[in-house]
Structure formats: C-alpha cells, structure tokens
Amino acid sequence: MEDKKKDLLRRLTIISIPFVFVAIPSIVIFVGMLSPHAAGPKVAVASPEQNHTVGMLSTMTGGQMILSCRAAFAGNWEYFHYFILDPYKPQHAFFQPQTDHYAILCKWGYMGNFLQDVVVFNSSEPYAKLCAVNAGGCRYLFQDGQMFLVTGRHATKAAPWQHREKKLIGDVLLRDCKHILGIFPTMCHYTKHDHQYVGKIISRWSWWFNY
C-alpha cells in the first residue's frame, strides 16, 4: 500500500514537470502577448525637422576613442548615448530636442587622455539647425589631434545649392610618454597644441550611465 502511494506520487511528479516548466510559462507568455502591455513601447516618429543626429568619426589610429554623452535641458539632464570608436568606423545617434535650451555634452577619452564638457549640440548655437536629419546632421571628425564639425552635403547636379562645411572646433588632449631605460617612471608631457582644447581636462574616466 505504502509503495503504491509512493509510486503514484512519483508518477504525478513526473507528469507535472512538463506542466510546470512548459505549459504554465507558455500560457503566461501567450496571455502576455494578448495583453496591451506587451505591445512594446511605441516610438513616435519625429518630423524630419525635429529629428536630429550627431555622428562621430576618428581617424586617429592610436586606439579606440570613447565618448559618453548626456543631454542637458531645462535645468535637468539625462543620459544620451555612448560611442566606442574604432579608427575610421563612423557611428551616429539620433535625438529629438524637446526644449529651446537643449545641449549634449560628452566626456571624451583617447589613450588615457580625458576631457569633459565637450559640447556636440547646443540648440542656442547657429549650427544647431544643421544637426537636423533632413539638413544632413552634425558629424564630428577627430583627425590629427583636432576636432572638426562637418555639416551639410556636397553639391550634386540635382541639388547644386548644397554645400559641405568642415569647421575646426579645437584641439583634443594628447600626451607624449617616454619610457627612459625602463627603470624610471614613465615621463609624460602634453603635446604642443595650437588651439583651445574642446573640453576641460579630467584625470580619470567614468561613464555616464543609463539609470
């Protein structure tokens, strides 16, 4: 009698395993799919004038360049985007500025050199309208220790009025380090630069996070 009970219990357990691990989750997923909450967040499509883009391209081959950006507006700020740039591989991100005073500021890093408050969008500056997707967007080029803003598009036969502009923003921080005989600590000095740095020097890196 005892044995029969045990056997029945064992059978019930075996039968219930697929139910617990397959049937119940399936029902939960299925019901979830039917419920309006599972429809996924709908991203409203912005008008072409509202939709903006910033692009980044580094042609400096010493290593990856990193940018961690946040948006500041109405006395507040929120995480925007990060870029990890391999040389010659452009990346871009989209955004829709909601207020009149909207700026995007980045931390910048390259080979152990760090800057903060590198402004890549400022709605109060004349170039802001060129960052709209339909105007071609704002593209930042890091080349030979300098940061450029590239806007517009090359003129074409169909659109001869278009023009592309490349404007110097300033210099990025670079250090020259020497290992003397391998016994003394590495000697570093900032390399000579002709223009203002594009941001403020910081000694350590930390990311802006999305939380």
Ligand X SMILES: *[C@@H]1O[C@H](CO)[C@@H](O)[C@H](O)[C@H]1NC(C)=O
Return residues touching ligand X (CB under 6 A): 43, 45-46, 51, 94, 96, 103, 119, 122, 124-125, 133
| Closest C-alpha to 147, from 193, 197, 203 | 197
Q: Work out how close the CB of 198 gets to ligand X at its nearest, in angstroms, rounded to a whole number.
A: 11
* Beta carbon nearer to ligand X, 98 or 210: 98
Q: Work out how close the CB of 125 gets to ligand X at its nearest, in angstroms, rounded to a whole number.
A: 5
* Beta carbon nearer to ligand X, 60 or 72: 72
Four-residue CA torsion sign, 172, 145, 194, 138: negative
* Beta carbon nearer to ligand X, 103 or 141: 103
* Beta carbon nearer to ligand X, 32 or 48: 48
Return all residues near 171 (Cβ < 8 A) that are at least 6 apart. 145, 146, 147, 193, 194, 195, 196, 197, 198
Q: Work out how close the CB of 156 gets to ligand X at its nearest, in angstroms, rounded to a whole number.
A: 19
Helices and strands, number each (H, E), in the chain: 2, 12
* Beta carbon nearer to ligand X, 60 or 132: 132
Q: Work out how close the CB of 183 gets to ligand X at its nearest, in angstroms, rounded to a whole number.
A: 45
Q: Work out how close the CB of 96 gets to ligand X at its nearest, in angstroms, rounded to a whole number.
A: 6
C-alpha distances out from residue 79 to 73, 83, 132, 153, Å: 12, 13, 20, 29
What is the rounded distance in angstroms from the CA atom of residue 123 to the CA atom of residue 190?
Answer: 32
